[in-house]
């Protein structure tokens, strides 16, 4: 039983005799165990060296056990350290094996996932396993998970995982999405918008991506997706995200020196191309109210047209955002919430 901390079976048997007899003599132990006296003396010396027993007196051959909780403490600690070293060594071997397997077998690089439930589980795992950043392409019409059900994002962000989310314009016009995006941005999500996105996509830590394989439009065919691990294909998906990210319009809600929070968010939606009607519907105000707010800002900057307003907004830096983490060496801090497949 005690082999895990470095004792041999014979040492354990002798040690138990010492514990049971308390003041044990080599001859008595030898008789009980059927060992030779010299063999017992050698084992007792080993136990003494390990600090598990002590002599009653320097010139006597009688032994008493040290308190087991004290005696075994250092051995247990060394055992735990050895176990941790072994665990780390196994983890390194697993990574080496996976890398070798991927080079030999292309099927290790891409795993096909079929069905809404299976894909949803991969979306969850992507976030639970992320260490520092996730990136998302969010298109109109969710397939496996609406944004409102993506509670894993908040858990990941509580660990310091950063979310960069690119929204398709049509998605922002769906019921409840503007409020959902605004809530996420207020919690720290870095969000942008583009007119259209080519695919749905989720990427975690530059190490794994989830991407649909075929369109899911008929409502009958089960959706399928590819789980892409480290490879040139993953590098291409990351480059695709970054190219669209650079073209995206920031969706901002935080305070500005020149415009308040509501105006700033309104302007970011306007610059992103969301229509007055869609903005009014999502914010639960009249279209006239939206137009009035836009007109108020136009008067303040002396803009005669919305094109001039967009130019003034850009010139004054009202929609500029410090986008931490895009430079080399960045590691994220706590952030906030909204994404989904």
Tens-place pLDDT, residues 287-315: 888 888 888 888 777 777 888 788 777 76
Whole-number pLDDT of residue 24: 74
Pseudo-torsion of CA 330, 332, 337, 338, nearest 10°?
Answer: 30
Phi first, then psi: what are they for 69, rounded to 5°? Answer: -65, -30
Give 226's strand partners.
112, 211
pLDDT, residue 244, reads 92
Instruction: Tokens for 20, please give them.
Output: 């049971």
**In this structure, is the dihedral angle defined by the CA atoms of residues 27, 31, 32 and 33, taken in order, positive or negative?**
positive
As given in the structure block, the two tokens for residue 7 are 């004792």
Entry pTM: 0.50
Q: Which two tokens stand for residue 13?
A: 């048997």
Q: What is the DSSP string of 220-257?
A: SSPPEEEEEESSHHHHHHHHHHHHHHHHPEE---S--S
Q: Which residues pair with 249 in a beta bridge?
A: 193
Q: What angle (nearest 5°) sits at the alpha carbon of residue 165, between those of residues 143 and 144? A: 15
Which tokens in the block code for residue 270? 């306007």
Burial class, 57, CB count within 10 angstroms (exposed 0-12 / middle 13-18 / buried 19+): exposed
Helix (H) or strand (E) holding 54: strand 53-55
| Sole residue written with tokens 């008929």 | 218
Which one, of 79, 59, 2, lies nearest residue 14 by Cα? 2
Helix, strand or coil for residue 310? helix
Structure tokens at 290: 């939206």
- What pLDDT shows up at residue 325? 39
| Cα separation, 47 vs 167, whole angstroms | 69
Query: From residue 330, how far is each of 131, 145, 154, 164, 187 by CA, in Å?
Result: 13, 30, 21, 14, 20
- 10-residue mean pLDDT profile of the chain (341 residues): values are 68 80 78 85 82 75 72 64 67 61 61 87 89 91 71 80 90 81 76 89 92 68 85 90 89 57 79 84 83 83 78 72 39 35 49
Helix axis angle for 261-271 and 177-186, nearest 10°, is: 120
Mean pLDDT computed over every residue of the chain: 76
Structure tokens at 15: 């040690």
pLDDT for res 339: 38
> Quick check: 266 and 290 in contact, CB under 8 A?
yes
Contact 225, 210 (CB under 8 A): yes
Widest CA span of the chain, in angstroms?
A: 109
Question: Which helix H or strand E contains 184, and what residues bound it?
Answer: helix 177-186
Helical H runs in 50-175? 68-71, 73-104, 116-128, 152-158, 169-172
């Amino acid at each position: 039983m005690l082999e895990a901390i470095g004792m041999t079976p014979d040492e354990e048997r002798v040690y138990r005799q010492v514990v049971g007899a308390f003041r044990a003599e080599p001859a008595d132990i030898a008789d009980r165990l059927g060992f030779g006296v010299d063999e017992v003396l050698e084992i007792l010396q080993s136990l003494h060296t390990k600090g598990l027993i002590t002599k009653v007196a320097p010139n006597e051959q009688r032994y008493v056990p040290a308190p087991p909780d004290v005696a075994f403490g250092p051995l247990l600690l060394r055992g735990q350290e050895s176990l941790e070293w072994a665990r780390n060594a196994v983890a390194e071997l697993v990574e080496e094996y996976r890398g070798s397997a991927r080079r030999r077998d292309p099927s290790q690089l891409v795993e096909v996932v079929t069905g809404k439930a299976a894909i949803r589980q991969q979306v969850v795992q992507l976030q639970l396993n992320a260490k520092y950043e996730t990136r998302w392409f969010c298109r109109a019409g969710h397939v496996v998970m609406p944004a409102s059900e993506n509670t894993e994002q908040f858990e990941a962000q509580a660990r310091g995982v950063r979310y960069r989310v690119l929204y398709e314009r049509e998605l922002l016009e769906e019921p409840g999405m503007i409020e959902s995006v605004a809530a996420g941005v207020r919690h720290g999500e870095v969000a942008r918008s583009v007119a259209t996105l080519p695919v749905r996509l989720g990427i975690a830590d530059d190490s794994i991506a989830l991407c649909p394989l075929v369109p899911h439009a008929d409502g009958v065919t089960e959706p399928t997706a590819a789980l892409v691990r480290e490879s040139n294909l993953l590098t291409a998906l990351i480059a695709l995200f970054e190219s669209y990210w650079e073209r995206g319009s920031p969706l901002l809600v935080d305070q500005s020196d020149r415009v308040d929070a509501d105006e700033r968010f309104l302007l970011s939606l306007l610059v992103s191309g969301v229509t007055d009607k869609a903005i009014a519907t999502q914010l639960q105000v009249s279209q006239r109210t939206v137009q009035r707010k836009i007109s108020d800002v136009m008067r303040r900057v002396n803009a005669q047209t919305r094109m001039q307003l967009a130019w003034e907004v850009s010139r004054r830096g009202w929609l500029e955002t410090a986008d931490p983490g895009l430079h080399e060496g960045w590691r994220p801090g706590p952030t906030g919430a909204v994404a989904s497949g």
